[in-house]
Amino acid sequence: LLPPELRFAATTVLQRAFLCFSSYCYYDITETDGMSTNELYHSVQLYLSRSASVAATHLSLSRGLNSSAFTFGLSSHDRLVDTFRGATATWEHVVTQRQAQTFSWRPLPEEKRSFTLRIKKKDKPLFVPAYLDHIMDTATELRRRSQDRLLYTNSRGSAGGMESRGFPWESVPFKHPSTFETLAMDPERKQLIMADLRDFAEGKAFYEKTGRAWKRGYLLYGPPGTGKSSMIAAMANFLGYDVYDLELTEVSTNSELRKLLMKTTSKSIIVIEDIDCSINLTNRGPKKSPTPLIDPPSPEDPNVAVAPAAAPKTITLSGLLNFTDGLWSCCGSERIFVFTTNHVEKLDSALLRSGRMDMHILMGYCSFPALKILMKNYLGLEDGELDEKSDLWAGLAAAIDEAEITPADVSEILIKNRRREKPAAAAELLEVLKARVEKRRKEGGKISSGEGVEVEEEEKRALDSPKESGQDTESDGGKEVVAAAAAL
């Protein structure tokens, strides 16, 4: 019955009175903040989409470009209840039609959208800003996880590219299918590595408390074809990190190395494969005598066109050490360094010390538990499917260790036989293993890898020595490795 202007005033007064006496307070988070986009609105949307899929009845669905995940959203006036540190927050999504625009520099959307957060007044100190920070962090994580991950590499002459394009890494989508489930190695060691990775990823507070840079180094060592590269892919898939595959031979100076490091992002794995082949690992004093990474071409050699202005390649061990555990290594955070090598005894102990390579992981020849995983992957052989009391089973268990065969070679045999009946395929594998054992015995202690590379028994034992202690080694300044090298 009231005229419109009085009605408006009366509503406002009533609303204010209601808010004064109410035990709740309300926050509006609008989609746009003046002319600019409100980042918080989108973060809330993403954050709520996590729980919206279970709690709400009316949902809107979307899928972003380059994304492999669907996102759920709340429809208009739908409500959702969330809890934070024991207190309750109620969210409502409010969509209203915008009044017809007369003139605007920038056309606005037809709908005005916002989220309203309702919390108890007494909970205010608990929620603001901790809850909002929590929402922002969770949304960033969800955004990262829903996007496809990337594999980066530094290309030849990246120094030039670095100056001109500003980014020294080239990327492709990272789609390696290796996971910890498919990786053939002893389950206990696998669990140990997974727990270590999980601890690292969840350890922000721990690293801050202890004053350490939030990074961790792993050294994967062992003969070719034992799953070092597969392990890196499994780590990346497990943590959802991007991978930077650093090709050291393409980097010519320490400062270029530093620039590459600066351009990596958080939540990434920086990989240097075959570290012993990439750099002169004995020279730590670059200032006195920088050792060229690659010998300069001889002017007498008629096959080589010598560029007169060719700069000396001066990436040094010292540069690499600083890269992994110097002041620069902590620009950005939550990064994992992984080094691989076939010859751990060649590595400098400074490179192996804790802080640079915190965990040394031996990727060894195929063990029986690893063989079971491979048979499951390639033949679909489930636990208990083959009679564990049969001669075939006992034969495989007995022959696999003595055969000293890499998982890559076992995979190859299984691939060839995968269309046969499972017991027939396993029997064929046993035949190959027996033949291999026989050959090894005849050759008197020489082992040969799948690629025909002969490795002396002594050297092999040195490579395997940490295994004899029964576990992977948390680095103790690389002592066990140095001891192995000394034994050689």
Long-range contacts of 188-193 (CB under 8 A, 24+ apart): 189/361, 189/471, 189/472, 192/471, 192/472, 193/359, 193/361, 193/472
Rounded Cα gap, residues 384 and 168, in angstroms: 51
**φ, ψ dihedrals at 295, nearest 5°:** -60, 135
Rounded Cα gap, residues 370 and 365, in angstroms: 9
Closest separation in Å from C-beta 175 to ligand ATP:
14
Region near ligand ATP per CB under 6 A, out of 64-72, 178-186, 425-433, 441-449: 178-186
45 is a site residue for Mg ion (CB under 5 A)? no
Rounded Cα gap, residues 414 and 407, in angstroms: 10
Nearer to ligand ATP, 171 or 182 (CB): 182
Footprint on residues 23-62 left by ligand ATP (CB under 6 A): none
462 is a site residue for ligand ATP (CB under 6 A)? no
Rounded Cα gap, residues 213 and 204, in angstroms: 10
Q: Which of Mg ion, ligand ATP, none binds 230 (CB below 5-8 Å, type-dependent)?
A: ligand ATP
Closest separation in Å from C-beta 423 to ligand ATP:
22
Rounded Cα gap, residues 294 and 390, in angstroms: 56
Closest separation in Å from C-beta 62 to ligand ATP:
36
Closest separation in Å from C-beta 481 to ligand ATP:
17
Closest separation in Å from C-beta 230 to ligand ATP:
3
Nearer to ligand ATP, 236 or 363 (CB): 363
Q: Which of ligand ATP, Mg ion, none binds 449 (CB below 5-8 Å, type-dependent)?
A: none
Closest separation in Å from C-beta 144 to Mg ion:
26
Nearer to Mg ion, 338 or 429 (CB): 338
Footprint on residues 381-410 left by ligand ATP (CB under 6 A): 407-408
411 is a site residue for ligand ATP (CB under 6 A)? yes
Among candidate residues 10, 37, 9, 43, the one with its CA nearest the CA of residue 117 = 43
Long-range contacts of 449-455 (CB under 8 A, 24+ apart): 449/223, 449/224, 449/225, 449/406, 449/409, 450/224, 450/225, 450/405, 450/406, 450/408, 450/409, 450/412, 451/224, 451/225, 453/224, 455/223
Q: Exactly one of 46, 183, 315, 462 binds ligand ATP (CB under 6 A); which one? A: 183
Question: By rule CB under 5 A, what string of x and - marks binding of each residue 210-249 to Mg ion?
Answer: ------------------xx--------------------
**φ, ψ dihedrals at 4, nearest 5°:** -55, -45
Q: Are strands 215-221 and 335-341 parallel, antiparallel or unpaired?
A: parallel
342 is a site residue for ligand ATP (CB under 6 A)? yes
- Taking each continuous run of H as one helix and of E as one strand, the counts in the chain are 18, 18
Amino acid type, 460: K
8 A C-beta contact, residue 394 and residue 436: no
Number of residue whose CB is nearest Mg ion: 229
Q: Which of ligand ATP, Mg ion, none binds 185 (CB below 5-8 Å, type-dependent)?
A: ligand ATP
3-state secondary structure of 71: strand
Region near ligand ATP per CB under 6 A, out of 159-167, 169-177, 179-187, 478-486: 179-187
Nearer to ligand ATP, 229 or 329 (CB): 229
Closest separation in Å from C-beta 233 to ligand ATP:
8
Omega within 30 of 0 (cis) for the link into 423: no
Q: How many residues at the interface with ligand ATP, by CB under 6 A? A: 16
341 is a site residue for Mg ion (CB under 5 A)? no
Residue 93 DSSP symbol: E
Q: Are strands 111-120 and 447-448 parallel, antiparallel or unpaired?
A: unpaired
Closest separation in Å from C-beta 221 to Mg ion:
11
449 is a site residue for ligand ATP (CB under 6 A)? no
154 is a site residue for Mg ion (CB under 5 A)? no
Closest separation in Å from C-beta 287 to ligand ATP:
34
Residue 303 DSSP symbol: T
Q: Which of Mg ion, ligand ATP, none binds 49 (CB below 5-8 Å, type-dependent)?
A: none
- In angstroms, the Cα distances linking 198 to 180, 241, 356, 362, 401 are 13, 12, 19, 20, 31
Rounded Cα gap, residues 317 and 315, in angstroms: 7
CB neighbour list of residue 391: distance below 8 Å, 6 or more residues apart: none
Residue 100 DSSP symbol: P
Region near ligand ATP per CB under 6 A, out of 89-97, 127-135, 177-185, 389-397: 177-185
Q: Which of Mg ion, ligand ATP, none binds 364 (CB below 5-8 Å, type-dependent)?
A: none
Region near ligand ATP per CB under 6 A, out of 72-80, 168-176, 186-194, 219-227: 219-227
Q: Which residues bind Mg ion (CB under 5 A)?
A: 228-229
Which residues of this chain interact with ligand ATP, rule CB under 6 A? 182-185, 224-230, 342, 363, 407-408, 411
